[in-house]
Structure 1
Amino acid sequence: MKSTDYQPVVIPRSFSKIMTYQERDYHIFVSIPADPPPESGFPVIYLLDGNSVFATMTEAIRIQSRGPERTGVYPAIVVGIGYPTDGPYHPARFFDYTYEVPVSELPGNPKGADWPQMGGAEQFLTFLEEELKPSIEKDFPVDRTQQAIFGHSLGGLFVLHVLLSRPHAFQRYIAGSPSIHWNENVLLAKESQLPGLLTEELDVHALLTIGELENDGRFLVKEKALAMIERLSSMGKGQIKASFKEFADENHSSVLPALINQGLKFATKKTAR
């Protein structure tokens, strides 16, 4: 850039800070609606891989929430959880979004390299529950009865991990293209323990999605997602309401804008039990 006339672009009503937990740094991005908050506070969406999609989700909700009766998207706070990097992704996500599995049971790395360090999902979830959420609730008008977590790919796997291990943590779970194949046996073991965590008052909504072009037969993404939805829906007394969405003509990367649009409707709508 040769001219000095240009200034950095700033997303309106958005803020950021660095938080550190267990010697790991997180870049936290927050956007808030322009509307006055309702008495109960705004719905809040905790967005994984914040470096890659925070701006996209923030602009999508800013535009669509202007006419919620028409779009189905209501004003909400977006909390992007990212890392101190200028890139869209950081290798630290492999640790934060995965549970411990033997290297021999991992799928092959398509890049031919060794996988980064893994197995920190429980530690990362503790950071969300004990550090990040209390900080956000102290600083912004949050409706604690309408909290969503949104993740894609390994982020989608982490969303399922939270749903299966601490279903009370959020009320809306959005798992886009979840890497169920990463270590399905561990996920199934967690799922088998879920019925014991379903209290009478629990009211959870889960959305699993994929892009049509992702279902190439290697990992049986669609089949495994549909099977999980059927099992979740049959548990307890209907405390978990699970649904599935497939986006036509979208691949693992291109599906993100469509997933965000669908996820915003899912996360911000008011639903009766």
Structure 2
Amino acid sequence: MKRFLTILGLVMSTVTHADTSYPPYSLPGTQLRALPATEQGRRYQLHVHLPASFAREPQRRYPVLYVTDAYWDFATFVGSYGNLVYDRVVPEFIIVGLGYAGEQPDYDALRLWDLSPVRLADQQGESGHADQFLATLKQVVFPLVERDYRADPAQRYLAGSSLGGLFALHVMYAAPELFKGYIAASPAVVAGGDWIIGRAKAYAATGKPLNARLYVTGAEHEWPGFLAGIQRYQALLPELKQPGLVFQSRIIDGERHAGTKAESYTRGMRFVFEPLALAHGPARD
């Protein structure tokens, strides 16, 4: 797992520096919000994308999709969002990317601390704090977004890849009242020895409903052991017969670990927002 995280960090951290004599391109309709440091000294930053109608419909409240690893994935979501809204296969919604403030933050170390729900054998002191991160979302991030951006607290959704996907699955079982839908792209199911599979079985054993939509993917050319964990979780879902849970699984053909993101996120947004899209009328031909 440690080697996998190191390799992923090297890939994601590669930056090509453009000629500074030209102005940088920014994503229209987006904002950055650096948050005050938490009591634990954690410094978070929100990447916010607002719908086209946000300014002209000041009384309207919107669904909101929270996205982990915003420093890598926020632009991918925003890029697909406009196409999906144009096709009327999703409603207008707010995208809030979860990231880190400060100068040159160490994304690999920071996300390992926040997104892993269980301590990893090779990262004992630096992992396993997902519940603390979830508490920050509930106590700090949700109130801010729902106050300043008119986000509908009854229509929250959560998405992430790898450890972010594992975090999404963890939240689904730990606090099922918080979100209506989840996108877990190549989730790190193998973390903690398939810990999340045990968590899924334990939740199902309670008999409680799980009223949510879940889209979970893997990549055809993932690391074999990593993909096997995802497939074990995907195979478990229909066996559990979890009341209320509507799910769809997919293996993205021809892709490796990070290559799942574009297709997983696009199809995932369509799937989790499908009920709301239907309520807003037929798709555009």
User: What TM-score does the superposition give when structure 2 sets the normalisation length?
Assistant: 0.79
Matched pairs, number: 255
The residue correspondences of 1:133-172 to structure 2 (distance < 5 A) are: 133-172=142-181
In 2, are the aligned partners of 1:91 and 1:116 still within 8 Å (CA)?
no
Q: d(CA) in 2 for partners of 1:217 and 1:4?
A: 43
Name segments (4+ residues, structure 1) moved above 6 Å: 1-4
- Aligned to 1:213, the other structure's residue is in SS state coil
Q: 1:59 to 1:131 in 2, by over 3 A?
A: same
Q: d(CA) in 1 for partners of 2:18 and 2:227?
A: 48
Give the aligned residue type for 1:14: T
Q: d(CA) in 1 for partners of 2:44 and 2:244?
A: 33
Task: For residues 125-170 of structure 1, give each alpha carbon's deviation from its aligned partner in whole angstroms, at most 9, with x where no partner exists.
Answer: 1111121111100111223332110010011111111111111110
Q: d(CA) in 2 for partners of 1:34 and 1:40?
A: 12
Point out where structure 2 has 5 or more consecutive residues left out of the alignment.
1-16, 279-285
Aligned to 2:84: 64
Q: 1:39 to 1:225 in 2, by over 3 A?
A: farther
Q: d(CA) in 1 for partners of 2:207 and 2:49?
A: 32
Aligned to 2:283: none
Q: d(CA) in 2 for partners of 1:93 and 1:10?
A: 24
The one of 184, 187, 194 equivalent to 2:196 is 187
Task: For residues 52-107 of structure 1, give each alpha carbon's deviation from its aligned partner in whole angstroms, at most 9, with x where no partner exists.
Answer: 01112112212331231xxx23321100001136689432100101134362xx5x
Aligned to 2:247: 242
The one of 217, 234, 256 equivalent to 1:251 is 256
In 1, are the aligned partners of 2:117 and 2:129 still within 8 Å (CA)?
yes
Q: 1:177 to 1:218 in 2, by over 3 A?
A: closer
In 2, are the aligned partners of 1:171 and 1:203 still within 8 Å (CA)?
yes
Q: d(CA) in 2 for partners of 1:26 and 1:56?
A: 20
1:221 aligns with 2:229: yes
Shift in Å, 1:38: 9.5
Shift in Å, 1:15: 0.7
Q: d(CA) in 1 for partners of 2:20 and 2:198?
A: 57
The one of 77, 80, 91 equivalent to 1:74 is 91
- Aligned to 1:128, the other structure's residue is in SS state helix
In 2, are the aligned partners of 1:42 and 1:77 still within 8 Å (CA)?
yes
Task: For residues 208-261 of structure 1, give each alpha carbon's deviation from its aligned partner in whole angstroms, at most 9, with x where no partner exists.
Answer: 1111112635651343122331244x13xx211222012111110111111121
Aligned to 1:261: 266
Give the aligned residue type for 2:92: P
User: What TM-score does the superposition give when structure 1 sets the normalisation length?
Assistant: 0.82
Point out where structure 1 has 5 or more consecutive residues left out of the alignment.
107-113
Give the aligned residue type for 2:214: A
- Aligned to 1:90, the other structure's residue is in SS state helix
The residue correspondences of 1:113-152 to structure 2 (distance < 5 A) are: 117-152=126-161
- Aligned to 2:108, the other structure's residue is in SS state coil
1:49 aligns with 2:53: no
Aligned to 1:209: 217
